[in-house]
Amino acid sequence: MTDANEVVAFTSMAEGTREDYELLGRLEADFARGTADRVLAMLRDLSGSLSGYRVDRLEHSLQSASRAYRDGAEEEMVVAALLHDIGDMIAPYNHSEMAAAVLRPYVSERTYWIVLHHGLFQSYYYAHHTGGDRNARDAYRDHPWYQDTVDFCHRWDQSSFDPEYESLPLEFFEPMVRRVFDRTPFEGRRG
């Protein structure tokens, strides 16, 4: 916990001292430790969102993660499946990019890439009905994680709008989310 009186002396960053930036570094590290709590709160806020579907966005997220978990996916990918749509509330036209940016410091390059591109890959299932190109994802056909992203969307994302599916509760996934966000940023950045 920090003292509310702990503030830097400067009013312009160019005037900051080593002590100012050491203080900010400590305060920012304290704040970063609460990222899992804020992400889980964002996820809870998806409850009741996105009308028109047979389930709300929270249930969609729980179904996606439950399917990934039941398929034996690694924990990081289960968390990615849970959080892949957290950007929907404030970035409806680029939610994939927002979710990927939140995850990026804590997950592998592969997981980041899958979440970043899942929106485009997901359009395979509907773009031809709305005047779009359902094969737009094929621009990435030669990418090493193309098929992984196809599989993510096919197995866990596009199939998770079922009101009869028995999802695992959010509480089941909370320890996984905390473990991923407790990682040292960028420690998991591998292929």
At 21 the pLDDT is 96
What's the whole-number average pLDDT of the chain? 94
CA dihedral 105, 106, 111, 114 (to 10 degrees): -50
pLDDT tens string 13-69? 999 999 999 999 999 999 999 999 999 999 999 998 778 999 999 999 999 999 999
Q: What percent of the chain has pLDDT over 70?
A: 95
* Residue 173 maps to a domain: yes
Q: Is residue 53 part of a domain?
A: yes
Where residue 107 sits, what CATH number does that domain have?
A: 1.10.3210.10
- Give me the phi and psi of 121, to 5 degrees please: -65, -35
Q: What is the domain range of residue 85?
A: 35-181
* pLDDT digits 0-9 by tens, 110-144: 999 999 999 999 999 999 999 999 999 999 999 99
Tell me, yes or no, whether 48 lies in a domain. Answer: yes
- Flag whether pLDDT at 102 surpasses 80: yes
What band does 176 get if pLDDT is binned at 50, 70 and 90?
very high
Residue 153 is predicted with a pLDDT of: 98
Q: 58: which 2 tokens?
A: 């929270």
Q: Region 66-90: what's the mean pLDDT?
A: 96
- Per the CB < 8 A criterion, the answer to whether 46 and 56 are in contact is yes
43, part of any domain: yes
74 pLDDT exceeds 60? yes
Total structural domains within the chain? 1
Give domain status of residue 7, yes or no: no
DSSP calls for 40-80: HHHHHTTTT-STTSSS-HHHHHHHHHHHHHHTT--HHHHHH
Is 30 part of a structural domain of the chain?
no
